[in-house]
Amino acid sequence: MASPPRTAERPSLWPQRKPQPSYSQLLKDLRRGSIEDLELSPARREVSVRYKDGQRAQVSVFNNDQVLLRTAQQHRVPLTVRDDSRDSATASLVANGLLVLLLLLGLGLLLKRSAQVANKALGFGRSQPRVQEDTAAPVHFEDVAGIAEAKDELAEVVTFLKSPERYTAVGAKIPKGVLLVGPPGTGKTLLARAIAGEAGVPFFSMAASEFVELFVGVGASRVRDLFRKAKAKAPCIIFIDEIDAVGRQRGAGIGGGNDEREQTLNQLLTEMDGFEDNSGVILLAATNRPDVLDAALMRPGRFDRRITVDLPDRRGREEILAVHARTRPLAPSVNLADWASRTPGFSGADLANLLNEAAILTARRQHQQIDDAALTDALERITMGLSAAPLQDSAKKRLIAYHEIGHALVTTLEPAADQLDKVTLLPRAGGVGGFARTLPDEEVLDSGLITRAFLKARLVVALAGRAAELVVFGPSEVTQGAAGDLDLVGRICREMVTRYGFSSLGPVAFESETGEVFLGRDWLRGEAPYSEQTGRRIDAQVRQLASAALDQAVALLEPRRVLMDQLVEVLIQDETIEGDRFRALVEAHEAGPRRQLAAVGA
Ligand code: ADP
């Protein structure tokens, strides 16, 4: 059945609108007498039309339209004129009112903002919510694993805090400041909290970056506030994280330093000097950039103890995993030793994160125990965002291992060199690859006198990494990894020639000491105080010293290729070789040929 036309069906509740008639149509309709009345709105230049059949329409008209007026008059169509000036007046009033309101609102917001800033500026020193005693659950030494050396050294601080009389009775001064140096996440904060926990004293902690704010003087005032609160609670521990944020060398850089930071650092130094010896407040600070710290921070009576917190080695990682596994249900099949060897380069924080991720995955899978599958997935997730990759890449790892073994082996073989402390494949704070660390010679440190033999030995040791690469991989496979070593070599050689008279140029100082108070000094220095010809001879001497050192290192390493291979295997297996063990391994190897020689002689 066909539906009836819709227009016919629609009830006519409202007067129907005619399709817009044209102006001429309007005049025609007027003349025909089909229009009931008209209403003219002059301001809108429009006329509303009501037809006799009840329909309505709007038609635009001319300004001051005389034709329309006359036609309406002639045909006696009533025409009213609407006064819409009142409408527009109301509209503009509303618009203006809104504008004023908006302006007022904006002004109010601005005033409120500046009042907040002013409040902050005036009340900065007083109410710093961050300078507060840390009341989280106490941490103990047993919660810190894998960094035994640092822990042992800090155990003494606990005794200082617990029974200071033992030290004061014999006139010993308790240290005021201990600097913890190491890469992020190795447990420096954890150690500091463990000291407070073990000694049962309050713990105040703050990141140095929080001292420095927009306003000059805020940092200094916060430092004062921190020390005031801490002194009231002595004995206690103050921990300042990332101390390099305020403790950088003052006056460094061209164009002056950052005033606010310097003021903060000065205040920190003043406070450290200000509290009496044995007041019971011990300041611990952490950094991974000890090289940029202001020398004034390290003076006696300030941070005169420095403890290195390295990345954990394989055994250390196993211990840390065990600590974090205490509170988590592990499946019996999980072998933590395996997981320790699968996570080279991981810090304590990374390991804690690994177990936590695995626990989250276990919960998501609705399992009861953390199993190897969960750990594997967690490891994959974590390593995507980690820079520990070079350690897992075995070719690169082997190259780094040979480089470091080169340094370590030459250190051990050179009689005038410092003693080897340890060699490791774990990256140093802020660096890549491993490092071979020596213990500074106490005698040299005390006397401040350096012999020519000592400097030559340093050159040989510094170039031993490059030498090892040369011996093992050949001249075209050497890497830029030795750039840092070469830099050091360049500086030592130059000083030997131009300042100490350790070359064939004779006992003449061509340059005087440049205490690097600010880095722009080299720029501003005038002409070199020697002739161009002498300059060339200096360069030649520098090169000769460096090449002789490299030859010496190659001569030491080349005949010991087998020993190097063995040591590299041990290093890759264990990641770290302590100095004593290294010397024993070298000694055992060197004794072999001697024994053979002795046997032949006999
Ligand atoms: P840092 O201060 O060196 O950056 P943190 O002390 O803040 O590192 O370490 C962060 C977290 O990582 C700690 O709360 C802890 O859970 C874990 N962690 C780090 N190092 C260790 C460690 N040696 N033993 C146990 N847990 C550690």
For ligand 1, whether the C-beta of 183 sits within 6 Å is: no
pLDDT at 497 over 60: yes
Ordered by where they begin, the domains of the chain are 23-83 (3.30.720.210), 130-308 (3.40.50.300), 314-384 (1.10.8.60), 395-513+529-596 (1.20.58.760)
Query: pLDDT-derived band of residue 4, with 50, 70 and 90 as boundaries?
Result: very low
CA nearest ligand 1 atom 5, residue:
187
Q: Contact 567/577 with Cβ under 8 angstroms?
A: yes
Q: Where are the beta strands (DSSP E) in 53-140?
A: 56-60, 79-81
pLDDT at 556 over 90: yes
Phi, psi of 184 (to 5 degrees): -65, 150
Output 520 or 200, whichever has higher pLDDT: 200
pLDDT at 5 over 50: no
Percent of the chain whose pLDDT exceeds 70: 83
* Least trusted range by pLDDT, from 85-94, 160-169, 186-195, 336-345: 85-94
Output 487 or 342, whichever has higher pLDDT: 487
CA nearest ligand 1 atom 27, residue:
348
pLDDT at 387 over 70: no
Query: pLDDT-derived band of residue 457, with 50, 70 and 90 as boundaries?
Result: very high
For ligand 1, whether the C-beta of 321 sits within 6 Å is: no
Task: List the structure tokens of 218.
Answer: 């805020």
Average pLDDT of the chain to the nearest whole number: 81
Sign of CA dihedral 462, 467, 472, 474: positive
For ligand 1, whether the C-beta of 243 sits within 6 Å is: no
| Best residue among 149, 189, 190 to mutate for probing ligand 1, ranked by most atoms within 8 Å of CB | 190
Q: Ligand 1 mean position to 526 CA, how many Å? A: 50
For ligand 1, whether the C-beta of 482 sits within 6 Å is: no
CA nearest ligand 1 atom 15, residue:
349
* Least trusted range by pLDDT, from 11-15, 198-202, 381-385: 11-15
Q: Contact 283/247 with Cβ under 8 angstroms?
A: no
Catalytic pick among 271, 319, 357, 404: 404
pLDDT at 429 over 80: no
| Atom nearest to 182 CA in ligand 1 | 3
Q: What's the rounded Cα separation, in Å, for the pair 92 and 86?
A: 10
pLDDT at 120 over 70: no
Q: Ligand 1 mean position to 331 CA, how many Å? A: 24
What is the CB-side half-sphere exposure of residue 398 using CA atoms within 13 A?
7
For ligand 1, whether the C-beta of 352 sits within 6 Å is: yes
Phi, psi of 423 (to 5 degrees): -125, 140
Q: Which of 22, 30, 221 is nearest to 127 (CA)?
A: 221
Query: pLDDT-derived band of residue 386, with 50, 70 and 90 as boundaries?
Result: low
- The burial class, CB within 10 Å (0-12 / 13-18 / 19+), for 351 is buried
* Least trusted range by pLDDT, from 276-285, 333-342, 360-369, 592-601: 592-601
* Helices assigned H by DSSP within 414-531: 442-447, 452-473, 483-498, 521-524
| Atom nearest to 241 CA in ligand 1 | 2
pLDDT for 595: 65
pLDDT for 125: 47
pLDDT for 72: 87
Q: What's the rounded Cα separation, in Å, for the pair 261 and 220?
A: 9
Q: Ligand 1 mean position to 142 CA, how many Å? A: 13
pLDDT at 515 over 70: no
Task: List the structure tokens of 464.
Answer: 């031993």
Chain centroid to Cα 340, Å, comes to 26
Q: Ligand 1 mean position to 314 CA, how many Å? A: 16
Output 409 or 594, whichever has higher pLDDT: 409
pLDDT for 410: 95
Task: List the structure tokens of 63.
Answer: 């300004």
pLDDT for 101: 93
The per-residue pLDDT for range 139-153, each reduced to its tens digit, is 888 889 888 888 888
For ligand 1, whether the C-beta of 145 sits within 6 Å is: yes
Q: Ligand 1 mean position to 213 CA, how many Å? A: 27
Task: List the structure tokens of 282.
Answer: 């011990």
For ligand 1, whether the C-beta of 184 sits within 6 Å is: yes
Single-letter residue type at 327 = T
pLDDT for 251: 60
Query: pLDDT-derived band of residue 1, with 50, 70 and 90 as boundaries?
Result: very low
Phi-psi region of 40 (alpha: psi -120 to 50; beta: other; left: phi over 0): beta
* Residues whose CB is less than 8 angstroms from the CB of residue 62 and which lie 6 or more positions away in sequence, other chains included: 45, 68
For ligand 1, whether the C-beta of 147 sits within 6 Å is: yes
* Residues whose CB is less than 8 angstroms from the CB of residue 555 and which lie 6 or more positions away in sequence, other chains included: none
Q: Contact 243/265 with Cβ under 8 angstroms?
A: no
Percent of the chain whose pLDDT exceeds 90: 22
* Least trusted range by pLDDT, from 227-231, 384-388, 472-476: 384-388
For ligand 1, whether the C-beta of 348 sits within 6 Å is: yes
Task: List the structure tokens of 191.
Answer: 């150690």
- Tally Cβ neighbours within 10 Å of residue 291: 11
For the question of residue 260 being annotated catalytic, the response is no
Query: pLDDT-derived band of residue 324, with 50, 70 and 90 as boundaries?
Result: very high
